[in-house]
Amino acid sequence: MQIGIDLGGSKIELAALDPQGQRCYSQRVATPAGDYLATVESIIELVEAAEQELGQQGSVGICIPGTLSPDHGRVKNANSTCLIGQPLDLDLQHRLKRPVRLANDADCFALSEAIDGAGKGAQTLFGVILGTGVGGGIVHRQQLLSGPNRIAGEWGHNSLPWPTEEDLPALPCYCGKRGCIETYLSGPGLAAHHQQRYDQLLNAEELVRLAKSGDLQAQDSLGRYYDQLARALAGVINLLDPEVIVLGGGLSNIKRLYSEIPSRWGDYVFSDRVNTQLVAAQHGDASGVRGAAWLWPPQDTSEYS
């Protein structure tokens, strides 16, 4: 049995997968806001309840909104700031009396879609989160690419490629730089650039709805968004040349992305033809918790059977 836990800012979700990858148990609770010790306790209680219900012990993988530093072994780059500087994996291993694997939420998303999702069978997959932030994960032959800094796939904090006058002025990013991809392609980024151009305070969902109804200003903002996303993904293709790019997050539900982006990225990819597939996530919001479970491949879980 493989247990995956998605530790989010508002909820903690647990799912247990059987050897065929089917969910056999799930439960979610609210995340204790800003309380690290209470968060650890909530995770322990979820695992214990699942194993008591199912009558067996499982491997434990956890999806977090950050990553473990390879230098000091503590959490860094976390949106949930109470996790920063904490040895989350060691604290959980001590309480659960077994190894625990942790990975970034975008990495878990990518792994889930590569193992048994929209990118199943692909040699190389790039998973994209387009939501409140912009994240990415890279999977090659069903193995996560990590790297010495544990930041592989963090394309959201690169500059937007081939900027035009319509992309300016660049907006500040929380990382301290200006003009990061995240400041254009996240939901708040799309809304901020529309407000900058048209002095209208609308969120991404409202912009999509207005564009569908024929609003010219909303259509213009979405048209620029399509081109910006095409340029950003073209940069990924030029570097990684993945077979499949899978989109997740709230903005991935815009159906026109899957026709507009491939029709535009050919202008920026260094090839006479672009064979990369652009697809929507198969598991949607469940990809994080499923990817966390898949941090332990079945061949690594025999000791918990």
SS3 category, 124: strand
Average of per-residue pLDDT values in the chain: 94
pLDDT at 65 (0 to 100): 87
Structure confidence by residue, pLDDT tens digits, 51-87: 999 999 999 999 998 899 999 999 998 878 899 999 9
What distance in Å separates the CA atoms of residue 186 and residue 133, rounded to the nearest whole number? 5
Look up residue 10 and give its two tokens. Answer: 């508002």
The CA-based dihedral angle spanning residues 102, 103, 108, 111, taken in that order and rounded to the nearest 10 degrees: -100
Q: Which amino acid is at 137?
A: G
Q: What DSSP assignment string belongs to 142-195?
A: TEE---TTS-TT-GGGSBPSS--GGG-SPPB-TTS-BSBTHHHHSHHHHHHHHH
Nearest-angstrom CA–CA distance, 101 and 294: 10
Q: What pLDDT does 169 receive? A: 93
109 neighbors 291 (Cβ within 8 angstroms): yes
CATH class of 118-281: alpha beta
- 128 backbone dihedrals φ, ψ, rounded to 5°: -120, 130
DSSP-assigned letter for residue 97: T
Looking at the chain, the domain(s) classified CATH 3.30.420.40 span 2-104+289-304, 118-281
Element (H, E) at 5: strand 2-7
Average pLDDT over residues 217-243: 98
pLDDT tens-digit readout, 10-46: 899 999 999 888 999 999 999 998 999 999 999 999 9
Q: pLDDT of 190-205, one tens digit each? A: 999 999 999 999 999 9
Long-range contacts of 207-210 (CB under 8 A, 24+ apart): 208/254
DSSP annotation string for 241-277: --SEEEEESGGGG-TTHHHHHHHHHTTTSSSSS---E
Check residue 283 and report its DSSP letter: S
**Is 3.40.50.300 the CATH classification of the domain at 2-104+289-304?**
no
* Calpha distance 294→297 (Å, rounded): 5
Q: List, in order, residues 6 or more apart from 164 with CB less than 8 Å away.
A: none
Query: 244-248 and 277-280 as β-strands: parallel, antiparallel, unpaired?
Result: parallel
Confirm if 197 and 223 have CB atoms less than 8 A apart.
no
pLDDT cut 70: percent of the chain above it: 98
Residues paired with 228 in a beta bridge: none
- pLDDT, average across residues 127-134: 93
Q: Is 23 helix (H, G, I), strand (E, B) or coil?
A: strand
Burial label, 281 (beta-carbon count in 10 A; 0-12, 13-18, 19+): buried
**CA-to-CA distance for 75 and 172, rounded, in angstroms?**
24
Model pLDDT, residue 29: 96
